[in-house]
Amino acid sequence: MATSAEIMEALEDYKIQCNNNKRLRRMQRDWTKLLHFIAEDTGDKFTMDVIKGEIINNKEGAEGTPDVIITATSEDMCDMFWGDLNPAQKYLDGEIRVKASQEDVQRIDAITMIIWPDA
Amino acid sequence: MTGLRKVLKLRTVVSSSAGLAMATSCYLAGLYVAVVTVGELAWVSLLIAGVLCLLSAMCFSELTSLYPTAAGIKLYIQNAFNEKTAVAVAMFYVIGGASIVGVESYLLSSVLLDTVGILIHPLVDRFFWQLIFILLVGYINYRGVVLTGRVQDFLTYLMLGFLICVGLYTFTVKGVDLAAAVASPKFTLENIFTATALGIFLFIGFEWVAPLAEETEDYRMVGKGMMIAIGLLSITYSVFVVAMYTGLTPEQIKSGTTIPHILFARNLFGSTGAAVFIFMSILASFTSFNSGVLNNSRFIYAMARANILPRGLSKLHPDHASPWLAIVMIVCFAVILSLFTLLTGRYMFIVVVAAALECFIYVVVALCVLRLRKKLPDKERAYKVPLGKVIPVFTIVVFTLLMIGMFADSTKDSHGNILFQNYWCALAMVIFAGLTAFYAWRVMPKLKAAAEEKAKTRKRRRPQRRPAS
């Protein structure tokens, strides 16, 4: 099980990777969403605020009304944010669950694919 | 648990499900149902087809409540059987679903050809309209434009309401002699059975709404929406197909027309009525095909991302975030199929294949319900099909019989001449199934193994876990 601090560390790295990627920023320029992440094994929750493709902040806890809710194990979540895990595979296997519009689901996966194309 | 900011309402689930099923090809398939049995009693077969689809919808509902994800059918089969079977069946399903485009574009081109007239040559003009239609939908998807729920609601309910009103109006003007129809020698069990099998075609696509489970608050809503949509479609088709049959002249019925709805509208309401129907036809084809491209391209994208299909198919457009290569592949496939229908004129071949494929999928889904109940008896299901195993078993038996019956039959034109033996459709399906099975058992493991090898060479970015203090 990954701790809350480990996931926060992964989220912060993810934020840097996303915000520094020009291609991604261009693609996501019209994407403004509030995301909640839930680690189902530990019960930890996290909030990510994205404004026009830029991750503004990551917080512990679930704040606000989200556009997207992603549920996974804490380990998968950590690996996903570090780019060590292909989320599409886990999603197709039903191990990562997403509550969002189809468009948002694809956008989320697109982020990972652009930052780590060979993940 | 926190709710989503934007969730789908039941009315949108219903409109999406019904909208996916309604297409221009439904008018022609409806007329075939009427011709096979007695026109005035076509509603009997359509209602039976609707009830049967409802049973299948119940099975889909149980599975959706178990796995509320867009991965849908692949996940059900994977958990009930194994991944290879899941990939083979899912690919077979996607290819079959996409093949309807061949019929749809052919029929829509017939509508436009009738409207605009011949400009160069019937074949050239027809292909031109087919291309325009396919490329337009492809371009919209390429740009990543998605129909909003409200637009989908408006379009679907407009079409449903319009068809019912026109049908009821026709009954008041023309009248229907049910007594004579019942006494007709064509009103036999065998003909009702054949017409019911064809009637399944009119409901194809209702279950494509399952991926919307991720956008709802209550997973049961998708199942409920599918069932309401089937009910609405059954009523609408029953009313409209009978009305269309009574509104056409015997000569028009026997002419083997591909645009019965336009001729019907012209008979009853003149050129203005025909114009309205042309508009509705374009709308129906557009919404149906557009959703098909959207769902299939995303499915292909997800499979490519998971190393099930070649990775190149997961390429995303840098501006629109759309899976452009998957869309291009679907467009090319649609163009090839449109050319096939254009050159052979065998659009009914695809109709039979699509109806049989749908029956096959309903059988697979009912099997999944039974297998998953056995494998995961304690897993929470927001919805469970009532009466134990009765409905899934009945679904398996009925749809298997319908499929076998379809293959044992032949497809005839409006004069009763045999167009082709349906076992050719079975053969085409076996070939396609063989190809997808070959892919799942031979090609996919190599792709996955190569991806795993590559993954091993990647340096893990996640820092080593700190020892507990």
pLDDT for position B215 = 79
pLDDT band at B2 (very low <50, low <70, confident <90, very high): low
Angle between helices B42-66 and B24-36 (to 10 degrees): 130
Residues in chain A: 119
pLDDT band at B467 (very low <50, low <70, confident <90, very high): low
Residues of A in contact with B302 (CB under 8 A): 88, 91-92, 109
The residue ranking higher by pLDDT, B115 or B375, is B375
Phi then psi for residue A37, to 5 deg, are -115, 130
Nearest one of A19, A30, A38, A24 to A111, comparing CA atoms = A24
Q: Does the pLDDT at position B1 exceed 80? A: no
Asked if this assembly's ipTM is beyond 0.90, the reply is no
What's the mean pLDDT when you consider all of chain A? 89
pLDDT for position A72 = 94
DSSP label of B463: P
pLDDT, tens digit, for every residue of B134-179? 999 889 888 877 777 788 888 899 999 999 999 999 999 988 888 8
Q: Which domain holds residue B413?
A: 10-104+149-264+345-448
The residue ranking higher by pLDDT, B69 or B56, is B56
Residues of B in contact with A102 (CB under 8 A): 70, 146, 211-212, 214-215, 294, 298
Residue at B206 is within a domain: yes
Q: Are A69 and B2 in contact (CB under 8 A)?
A: yes
Chain A CA closest to residue B457: A118
The arithmetic mean of pLDDT across residues B408-430, rounded, is 88
DSSP-assigned beta bridge partners for residue B418: B412
pLDDT for position B144 = 76
Which string of DSSP letters, residue by residue, matches B39-53? GGGHHHHHHHHHHHH
pLDDT for position A65 = 92
- Sketch out chain A's domains with CATH numbers: 4-114 (3.30.1050.10)
The answer to whether the Cβ–Cβ distance between B319 and A102 falls below 8 Å is no
Residue at B188 is within a domain: yes
B382 interface with A at CB cutoff 8 Å:
no
What's the mean pLDDT when you consider all of chain B? 88
Residue at B129 is within a domain: no
A98 interface with B at CB cutoff 8 Å:
yes
What is the Cα B440 distance to its own chain's centre? 23
CATH classification at residue B54: 1.20.1740.10
Residues of A in contact with B5 (CB under 8 A): 34, 65-67
pLDDT band at B216 (very low <50, low <70, confident <90, very high): confident
A30 interface with B at CB cutoff 8 Å:
no
pLDDT for position B378 = 86
Helix (H, G, I), strand (E, B) or coil at A69: strand
Q: Are B134 and B101 in contact (CB under 8 A)?
A: yes
Q: Which of A99, A115, A116 is the best mutation test for B, with the most CBs of B within 10 A?
A: A99
Q: Are B72 and B211 in contact (CB under 8 A)?
A: yes
Pairing type for strands A68-72 and A33-39 reads parallel
User: With left for phi above 0 and alpha for psi between -120 and 50, is residue B175 left, alpha or beta?
Assistant: left
The arithmetic mean of pLDDT across residues B57-81, rounded, is 87
Residue at B153 is within a domain: yes
Q: What are the tokens at A56?
A: 């503004």
- Split into its structural domains, chain B has a count of 1
pLDDT band at B282 (very low <50, low <70, confident <90, very high): confident
The arithmetic mean of pLDDT across residues A4-19, rounded, is 93
pLDDT, tens digit, for every residue of A41-85? 999 999 999 999 999 999 999 999 999 999 999 999 999 999 888
Residue at B363 is within a domain: yes
d(CA A74, CA B188): 62
Of A36, A92, A107, the CB nearest to B71: A92
pLDDT for position A43 = 94
Residue at B298 is within a domain: no
pLDDT for position B199 = 92
Residue at B312 is within a domain: no
d(CA B67, CA B61): 10
The answer to whether the Cβ–Cβ distance between B298 and A91 falls below 8 Å is no
The answer to whether the Cβ–Cβ distance between A103 and B3 falls below 8 Å is no
pLDDT for position A119 = 63
DSSP label of B442: I
Residue at B240 is within a domain: yes
pLDDT for position B374 = 94
